[in-house]
Amino acid sequence: MFEILAEINGDMKAIQAGLGCLGAAIGVGMVGMKASEAVGRNPDASGKILTQAIIGMALAEAVAFYALFL
């Protein structure tokens, strides 16, 4: 009985990590998509947009680390 519960708990951690990384990947993709769209609309602001995009991607990747290690 306890072996089955341990196996289910181990699988749940893998599912949690997988979904967390999937969410982070979607978030990074959306940040990149919107940043490239913003640069296309206003090329003069590309430096500011790049800075904000890098910060946004870093925050999205932090979610993946939380999902993997917690």
Look up residue 31 and give its two tokens: 């940040």
Over residues 9-14, the mean pLDDT reads 72
**Domain limits, the chain:** 2-69
Residue whose C-alpha is closest to residue 31's, from 13, 17, 8, 51 = 51
Over residues 34-39, the mean pLDDT reads 96
Cα–Cα dist 37/31, whole Å: 10
* Domain topology for 2-69: F1FO ATP Synthase (1.20.20)
Distant-in-sequence, close-in-space partners of 65: CB < 8 Å, separation ≥ 6: none
pLDDT band of residue 43 (cuts 50, 70, 90) is very high
